[in-house]
Amino acid sequence: MGLEELRKSLEEEIEGILTTDFKIEITETTLVPSLDDSGITYPNLETGIQKCKLIETCVLYIDLRKSTDLNLSHKRETMSKLYSTFIRSIMKSAGEYNGKVRNVVGDRVMILFDSTNSFGNAYKTAVLLNSVVSKLLDQHFKNNEVKAGIGIDYGKMLVTKAGIIKKGFENTNYKSLVWLGRPANVASKLTDLANKTITEIFSYKEPYIRECFYYPNLDNKYSWYDAPIRRWVKEDLIHLGKGKFKHKNDYFHTFLVNERTITNTKSSTHKPILMTEEVYKGILKEASDMHSVKDGRIKDDTNIQVPGYSGKVYGVDSWFTAFE
Protein backbone atom coordinates (compact mmCIF):
# COMPACT_ATOMS: atom_id res chain seq x y z
CA MET A 1 0.00 0.00 0.00
CA GLY A 2 1.43 3.37 -1.03
CA LEU A 3 1.24 6.51 1.06
CA GLU A 4 -1.65 7.93 -0.97
CA GLU A 5 -3.66 4.76 -0.48
CA LEU A 6 -2.81 4.70 3.23
CA ARG A 7 -3.88 8.32 3.66
CA LYS A 8 -7.18 7.65 1.87
CA SER A 9 -7.84 4.52 3.94
CA LEU A 10 -7.12 6.30 7.22
CA GLU A 11 -9.27 9.28 6.25
CA GLU A 12 -12.23 7.00 5.49
CA GLU A 13 -11.88 5.24 8.84
CA ILE A 14 -11.54 8.50 10.77
CA GLU A 15 -14.61 9.98 9.09
CA GLY A 16 -16.52 6.75 9.65
CA ILE A 17 -15.83 6.71 13.39
CA LEU A 18 -16.35 10.43 13.96
CA THR A 19 -19.66 10.59 12.12
CA THR A 20 -22.80 11.13 14.22
CA ASP A 21 -24.18 7.83 12.93
CA PHE A 22 -21.41 5.89 14.67
CA LYS A 23 -22.65 4.77 18.10
CA ILE A 24 -20.80 4.01 21.32
CA GLU A 25 -22.68 1.48 23.44
CA ILE A 26 -21.68 1.65 27.15
CA THR A 27 -22.54 -1.07 29.64
CA GLU A 28 -21.91 -0.58 33.36
CA THR A 29 -20.08 -3.36 35.18
CA THR A 30 -18.68 -4.16 38.62
CA LEU A 31 -16.20 -6.75 37.35
CA VAL A 32 -12.84 -5.87 35.83
CA PRO A 33 -13.09 -6.53 32.07
CA SER A 34 -10.49 -8.53 30.14
CA LEU A 35 -9.35 -8.35 26.54
CA ASP A 36 -11.65 -11.19 25.46
CA ASP A 37 -14.73 -9.59 27.05
CA SER A 38 -17.51 -9.78 24.44
CA GLY A 39 -19.05 -6.63 25.88
CA ILE A 40 -16.08 -4.62 24.59
CA THR A 41 -15.40 -4.45 20.87
CA TYR A 42 -13.22 -2.67 18.36
CA PRO A 43 -14.85 0.02 16.22
CA ASN A 44 -17.01 -1.79 13.66
CA LEU A 45 -17.27 0.43 10.60
CA GLU A 46 -19.82 -1.84 8.95
CA THR A 47 -22.35 -1.82 11.81
CA GLY A 48 -21.32 1.64 13.04
CA ILE A 49 -21.10 0.42 16.64
CA GLN A 50 -18.39 0.10 19.27
CA LYS A 51 -19.16 -1.55 22.60
CA CYS A 52 -17.49 -0.27 25.80
CA LYS A 53 -17.85 -0.86 29.52
CA LEU A 54 -17.90 1.52 32.47
CA ILE A 55 -16.54 0.48 35.86
CA GLU A 56 -16.24 2.42 39.12
CA THR A 57 -13.39 1.04 41.19
CA CYS A 58 -9.82 1.45 42.41
CA VAL A 59 -6.86 1.49 40.08
CA LEU A 60 -3.34 0.87 41.36
CA TYR A 61 -0.01 1.43 39.65
CA ILE A 62 3.40 0.28 40.84
CA ASP A 63 6.68 1.34 39.30
CA LEU A 64 10.37 0.84 40.09
CA ARG A 65 12.18 3.93 41.33
CA LYS A 66 15.35 5.15 39.62
CA SER A 67 15.17 2.42 36.99
CA THR A 68 17.36 4.52 34.68
CA ASP A 69 20.09 4.79 37.32
CA LEU A 70 19.86 1.08 37.98
CA ASN A 71 20.36 0.39 34.29
CA LEU A 72 23.52 2.48 34.29
CA SER A 73 24.99 0.94 37.42
CA HIS A 74 24.33 -2.74 36.74
CA LYS A 75 25.18 -5.21 34.02
CA ARG A 76 22.53 -6.20 31.50
CA GLU A 77 22.24 -9.69 32.98
CA THR A 78 21.62 -8.26 36.45
CA MET A 79 19.00 -5.83 35.19
CA SER A 80 17.25 -8.55 33.20
CA LYS A 81 17.02 -10.67 36.36
CA LEU A 82 15.77 -7.70 38.38
CA TYR A 83 13.01 -6.84 35.92
CA SER A 84 12.00 -10.47 35.60
CA THR A 85 11.77 -11.03 39.35
CA PHE A 86 10.02 -7.69 39.88
CA ILE A 87 7.32 -8.23 37.25
CA ARG A 88 6.75 -11.88 38.17
CA SER A 89 6.55 -11.07 41.89
CA ILE A 90 4.12 -8.20 41.33
CA MET A 91 1.87 -10.15 38.96
CA LYS A 92 1.78 -13.17 41.27
CA SER A 93 1.09 -11.05 44.38
CA ALA A 94 -1.60 -8.95 42.66
CA GLY A 95 -4.13 -11.77 42.79
CA GLU A 96 -3.79 -12.36 46.53
CA TYR A 97 -6.48 -9.74 47.20
CA ASN A 98 -8.45 -10.17 43.96
CA GLY A 99 -6.40 -7.71 41.92
CA LYS A 100 -6.36 -8.06 38.13
CA VAL A 101 -3.25 -7.08 36.15
CA ARG A 102 -4.36 -5.21 33.07
CA ASN A 103 -1.27 -3.49 31.74
CA VAL A 104 2.51 -3.86 31.93
CA VAL A 105 4.73 -1.21 30.34
CA GLY A 106 8.41 -1.59 31.10
CA ASP A 107 8.61 -1.75 34.89
CA ARG A 108 5.17 -0.25 35.47
CA VAL A 109 2.25 -2.52 36.32
CA MET A 110 -1.44 -1.54 36.34
CA ILE A 111 -3.78 -3.45 38.67
CA LEU A 112 -7.56 -3.09 38.95
CA PHE A 113 -10.15 -4.51 41.32
CA ASP A 114 -13.77 -5.56 41.10
CA SER A 115 -16.00 -2.84 42.54
CA THR A 116 -17.00 -4.79 45.65
CA ASN A 117 -14.56 -4.02 48.48
CA SER A 118 -12.20 -2.35 46.02
CA PHE A 119 -10.78 0.05 48.63
CA GLY A 120 -9.85 -2.70 51.05
CA ASN A 121 -8.44 -4.97 48.36
CA ALA A 122 -6.47 -2.15 46.73
CA TYR A 123 -4.90 -1.09 50.02
CA LYS A 124 -4.00 -4.62 51.11
CA THR A 125 -2.49 -5.22 47.67
CA ALA A 126 -0.46 -2.01 47.98
CA VAL A 127 0.88 -3.08 51.38
CA LEU A 128 1.68 -6.54 50.01
CA LEU A 129 3.53 -5.15 46.98
CA ASN A 130 5.47 -2.76 49.21
CA SER A 131 6.40 -5.74 51.39
CA VAL A 132 7.59 -7.75 48.39
CA VAL A 133 9.79 -4.96 47.06
CA SER A 134 11.21 -3.44 50.25
CA LYS A 135 11.53 -6.57 52.39
CA LEU A 136 12.21 -9.29 49.81
CA LEU A 137 13.56 -8.08 46.47
CA ASP A 138 15.69 -5.33 47.99
CA GLN A 139 17.56 -7.84 50.16
CA HIS A 140 19.10 -9.35 47.04
CA PHE A 141 20.69 -6.08 45.88
CA LYS A 142 23.31 -3.92 47.54
CA ASN A 143 22.87 -0.44 49.02
CA ASN A 144 19.07 -0.67 49.46
CA GLU A 145 18.56 0.40 45.87
CA VAL A 146 15.46 -1.53 44.84
CA LYS A 147 12.49 0.68 45.65
CA ALA A 148 9.04 1.12 44.15
CA GLY A 149 6.31 3.74 44.15
CA ILE A 150 2.62 2.87 44.40
CA GLY A 151 -0.32 5.13 43.54
CA ILE A 152 -4.05 4.49 44.03
CA ASP A 153 -7.14 6.40 42.91
CA TYR A 154 -10.83 5.61 42.66
CA GLY A 155 -13.53 6.56 40.21
CA LYS A 156 -15.28 5.75 36.96
CA MET A 157 -13.30 4.50 33.99
CA LEU A 158 -14.46 3.78 30.47
CA VAL A 159 -12.94 0.58 29.09
CA THR A 160 -12.55 0.27 25.35
CA LYS A 161 -10.56 -1.78 22.90
CA ALA A 162 -7.88 -0.12 20.81
CA GLY A 163 -5.95 -1.54 17.91
CA ILE A 164 -6.61 -3.55 14.80
CA ILE A 165 -7.08 -7.21 13.95
CA LYS A 166 -3.91 -8.35 12.25
CA LYS A 167 -3.25 -11.76 10.74
CA GLY A 168 -0.46 -13.97 11.95
CA PHE A 169 1.62 -14.08 15.10
CA GLU A 170 1.71 -10.25 15.32
CA ASN A 171 -2.03 -10.18 16.06
CA THR A 172 -1.79 -9.91 19.85
CA ASN A 173 0.73 -7.04 19.65
CA TYR A 174 -1.82 -4.86 17.89
CA LYS A 175 -4.62 -5.22 20.44
CA SER A 176 -5.09 -3.83 23.95
CA LEU A 177 -7.63 -2.48 26.42
CA VAL A 178 -7.62 1.26 27.01
CA TRP A 179 -8.74 2.70 30.35
CA LEU A 180 -10.12 6.20 29.97
CA GLY A 181 -10.80 8.44 32.93
CA ARG A 182 -9.24 10.47 35.72
CA PRO A 183 -8.46 7.59 38.14
CA ALA A 184 -5.91 5.96 35.85
CA ASN A 185 -4.27 9.31 35.14
CA VAL A 186 -4.10 10.44 38.79
CA ALA A 187 -2.96 7.04 40.07
CA SER A 188 -0.15 7.07 37.52
CA LYS A 189 0.99 10.54 38.60
CA LEU A 190 0.91 9.51 42.26
CA THR A 191 3.10 6.55 41.35
CA ASP A 192 5.63 8.93 39.82
CA LEU A 193 5.89 10.78 43.15
CA ALA A 194 5.69 7.85 45.57
CA ASN A 195 8.96 6.88 47.30
CA LYS A 196 10.66 9.75 45.51
CA THR A 197 13.09 12.13 47.17
CA ILE A 198 12.41 15.78 46.37
CA THR A 199 15.18 18.31 46.95
CA GLU A 200 14.13 21.94 47.15
CA ILE A 201 16.66 24.74 46.72
CA PHE A 202 15.62 28.07 48.15
CA SER A 203 17.51 31.35 48.45
CA TYR A 204 16.96 34.61 50.26
CA LYS A 205 18.89 37.84 50.60
CA GLU A 206 20.02 39.07 53.97
CA PRO A 207 21.76 42.34 54.92
CA TYR A 208 24.70 41.91 57.25
CA ILE A 209 27.26 44.05 59.05
CA ARG A 210 30.97 43.81 59.46
CA GLU A 211 31.47 44.20 63.17
CA CYS A 212 34.67 44.93 65.05
CA PHE A 213 34.98 43.85 68.65
CA TYR A 214 37.68 45.43 70.82
CA TYR A 215 39.41 43.25 73.41
CA PRO A 216 41.19 45.63 75.85
CA ASN A 217 42.51 42.73 77.91
CA LEU A 218 44.13 41.00 74.95
CA ASP A 219 46.86 43.45 73.95
CA ASN A 220 44.25 45.86 72.63
CA LYS A 221 43.52 43.58 69.65
CA TYR A 222 40.49 43.92 67.41
CA SER A 223 38.54 40.93 66.01
CA TRP A 224 36.53 41.33 62.80
CA TYR A 225 33.69 39.03 61.73
CA ASP A 226 30.42 39.16 59.84
CA ALA A 227 27.05 38.91 61.53
CA PRO A 228 23.42 39.20 60.39
CA ILE A 229 22.12 42.71 60.93
CA ARG A 230 19.14 41.29 62.82
CA ARG A 231 21.62 40.44 65.61
CA TRP A 232 21.68 44.08 66.61
CA VAL A 233 18.93 46.06 68.25
CA LYS A 234 18.21 49.10 66.16
CA GLU A 235 18.26 51.39 69.19
CA ASP A 236 21.88 50.36 69.92
CA LEU A 237 23.19 51.73 66.63
CA ILE A 238 24.11 55.30 65.82
CA HIS A 239 23.80 56.11 62.12
CA LEU A 240 26.85 58.07 60.97
CA GLY A 241 25.63 58.46 57.38
CA LYS A 242 26.54 56.82 54.05
CA GLY A 243 25.59 53.40 55.33
CA LYS A 244 27.96 53.57 58.28
CA PHE A 245 26.82 52.75 61.80
CA LYS A 246 28.47 53.01 65.18
CA HIS A 247 27.47 51.00 68.21
CA LYS A 248 26.72 52.84 71.43
CA ASN A 249 29.09 50.43 73.13
CA ASP A 250 32.66 51.60 72.49
CA TYR A 251 33.83 48.01 72.22
CA PHE A 252 32.04 47.74 68.85
CA HIS A 253 32.46 49.56 65.57
CA THR A 254 29.98 48.48 62.89
CA PHE A 255 29.71 49.18 59.20
CA LEU A 256 26.67 48.33 57.09
CA VAL A 257 27.68 46.10 54.19
CA ASN A 258 25.76 45.00 51.08
CA GLU A 259 23.25 42.16 50.97
CA ARG A 260 24.41 38.59 50.68
CA THR A 261 22.47 35.63 49.25
CA ILE A 262 21.86 32.68 51.53
CA THR A 263 21.15 29.37 49.76
CA ASN A 264 19.78 26.31 51.54
CA THR A 265 18.44 22.94 50.46
CA LYS A 266 15.68 20.84 51.93
CA SER A 267 15.11 17.19 51.03
CA SER A 268 12.09 15.04 51.78
CA THR A 269 11.04 11.59 50.59
CA HIS A 270 7.39 10.83 49.89
CA LYS A 271 5.87 7.66 51.29
CA PRO A 272 6.01 4.58 49.02
CA ILE A 273 2.21 4.28 48.97
CA LEU A 274 0.22 7.37 47.94
CA MET A 275 -3.54 7.64 47.56
CA THR A 276 -6.27 10.19 46.93
CA GLU A 277 -8.61 11.37 49.65
CA GLU A 278 -11.53 9.26 48.41
CA VAL A 279 -9.36 6.15 48.55
CA TYR A 280 -8.22 7.04 52.06
CA LYS A 281 -11.81 7.41 53.29
CA GLY A 282 -12.78 4.12 51.67
CA ILE A 283 -9.82 2.36 53.30
CA LEU A 284 -10.93 3.55 56.73
CA LYS A 285 -14.16 1.58 56.21
CA GLU A 286 -13.00 -1.46 54.25
CA ALA A 287 -9.51 -2.06 55.69
CA SER A 288 -10.10 -1.20 59.33
CA ASP A 289 -8.52 -4.53 60.33
CA MET A 290 -5.10 -3.41 59.06
CA HIS A 291 -2.70 -2.28 61.79
CA SER A 292 -1.54 0.71 59.74
CA VAL A 293 -5.16 1.89 59.56
CA LYS A 294 -5.87 1.26 63.23
CA ASP A 295 -2.85 3.21 64.47
CA GLY A 296 -3.40 6.15 62.11
CA ARG A 297 -0.18 5.67 60.17
CA ILE A 298 -1.73 6.98 56.95
CA LYS A 299 -1.00 10.70 56.94
CA ASP A 300 -1.94 13.69 54.86
CA ASP A 301 1.03 14.72 52.68
CA THR A 302 0.64 18.46 52.21
CA ASN A 303 3.71 18.71 49.97
CA ILE A 304 2.14 16.82 47.09
CA GLN A 305 0.16 18.48 44.33
CA VAL A 306 -1.08 16.48 41.36
CA PRO A 307 -2.20 18.18 38.13
CA GLY A 308 -5.85 17.42 37.47
CA TYR A 309 -6.58 16.59 41.09
CA SER A 310 -7.42 19.18 43.77
CA GLY A 311 -8.01 16.99 46.83
CA LYS A 312 -5.67 15.85 49.57
CA VAL A 313 -3.04 13.18 49.07
CA TYR A 314 -2.35 10.62 51.79
CA GLY A 315 0.76 8.50 52.19
CA VAL A 316 1.99 5.54 54.21
CA ASP A 317 4.90 3.12 54.46
CA SER A 318 3.45 -0.18 55.60
CA TRP A 319 4.32 -3.86 55.14
CA PHE A 320 3.28 -7.30 56.32
CA THR A 321 5.38 -8.71 59.16
CA ALA A 322 5.49 -12.07 57.35
CA PHE A 323 8.03 -10.50 54.97
CA GLU A 324 10.36 -9.20 57.68
The per-residue pLDDT for range 57-93, each reduced to its tens digit, is 999 999 988 655 555 555 677 777 888 888 999 999 9
Q: What is the DSSP letter of 306?
A: B
Q: Are residues 119 and 161 in the same domain?
A: yes
CA distance 198 to 294: 29
Question: Considering 241, 266, 291, which residue would you say is the last residue of a domain?
Answer: 266
- For CA atoms 129, 132, 133, 134, the dihedral sign is positive
For residue 12, count CB atoms less than 10 angstroms from its CB and return exposed for 0-12, middle for 13-18, buried for 19 or more. Answer: exposed
Residues 116 and 172 placed together within one structural domain of the fold: yes
Q: What is the pLDDT of residues 285-312, one digit of tens each?
A: 999 999 999 999 999 987 888 988 999 9
Mean pLDDT of the chain: 83
The structure's pTM equals 0.79
83-115 burial: b if 16+ Cβ within 10 Å, else e: beebbeebeebbeebbbbbbbeeebbbbbbbbb
If asked whether residues 181 and 123 sit together in one domain, one would say yes
pLDDT of 138-154, one tens digit each? Answer: 887 665 578 899 999 99
Is 8 inside any structural domain?
A: no
Rounded distance between C-alpha atoms, residue 79 and residue 63, angstroms: 15
For residue 183, is it within any domain?
yes
Query: Is the Cβ–Cβ distance between 114 and 129 less than 8 Å?
Result: no
**CATH classification of the domain holding 71:** 3.30.70.1230
Evaluate whether 121 touches 57 at the Cβ level (below 8 Å).
Answer: no
Residue 42 lies in a domain: no
Residue 240 lies in a domain: yes
Q: Verify that 132 and 260 share a domain, yes or no.
A: no
Domain boundary among 239, 266, 293: 266
Residue ranges making up the domain that contains 233:
201-266
Q: Among 23-37, 209-223, 278-292, which stretch is predicted with the lowest mean pLDDT?
A: 209-223
Give the pLDDT mean for 198-225: 61
Residues 95 and 68 in one domain: yes
Domain count, the chain: 2
Beta bridge partners of 265: 201
Q: Are residues 187 and 206 in the same domain?
A: no
- Let me know whether 174 and 206 are in one domain: no
Read off the pLDDT of each residue in 227-245 and give the average, rounded to a whole number. Answer: 62
Q: Is the domain of 137 the same as that of 188?
A: yes
176 and 58 within one domain: yes
What confidence score (pLDDT) does residue 220 get? 47
Task: Clarify whether residues 192 and 70 are in a common domain.
Answer: yes
Question: Minimal CA–CA distance to 312: which of 268, 281, 269?
Answer: 281
Range with the lowest mean pLDDT among 10-19, 103-112, 212-221, 312-321?
A: 212-221
Residues 262 and 279 in one domain: no
Residue 279 has pLDDT above 60, yes or no: yes
Q: What is the DSSP string of 209-270?
A: EEEEEEETTSTTEEEEEEEEGGGS-GGGEEEEETTEEEESSTTEEEEEEEEEEEEEEEEEE-
Q: Tell me whether residue 246 is in a domain.
A: yes
Based on the fold, state whether residues 252 and 287 are members of the same structural domain. Answer: no
- Name the more confident of 282 and 163: 282
Give the pLDDT band (50/70/90) at residue 20: confident
Identify whether 39 is part of a domain: no
In a domain, 124, yes or no: yes
Domain boundary among 243, 266, 289: 266
Residue with the bigger pLDDT between 249 and 281: it is: 281
